[in-house]
Amino acid sequence: MSVGTGALGTMLLLAMPLLLTALVIGLLVGIFQAATQINEMTLSFIPKLVGMAVTMVVAGPWMLKVIVSYTRELIESIPSMIR
């Protein structure tokens, strides 16, 4: 159970920056569309794509460090799980 809990917590921690970026950009584009009455569904795609790419560049090293440390802890805990 602890392995599953740790995996879910790590997954949420890693997904949070990308999801928050998509949420904020989607909200800003939605407000812009409501203000200008432009009802184009594909208008939010490019800003979200660019924003998520920038987020990956900025948060990528941190995300990689988190997943590597979790994987290292998981592999090191294998002997204690066997007993």
Report how far residue 64's alpha carbon sits from residue 13's, in angstroms, rounded to the nearest whole number: 12
Q: What is the per-residue pLDDT for 20?
A: 96
Residue 67 class from Cβ within 10 Å (0-12 exposed, 13-18 middle, 19+ buried)?
middle
Mean pLDDT of 12-25: 96
**Domains in the chain, number:** 1
pTM summary value? 0.80
State the pLDDT confidence band at 9, using cuts at 50, 70 and 90: very high
Per residue in 37-58, pLDDT tens?
888 888 889 999 999 999 999 9
For CA atoms 30, 31, 33, 39, the dihedral sign is positive
Domain that holds residue 27: 2-82
3-state secondary structure of 43: helix
For residue 17, which of 61, 59, 64 has the smallest C-alpha distance?
A: 59
Statement: residue 36 has pLDDT above 80:
yes
Q: What is the per-residue pLDDT for 48?
A: 93
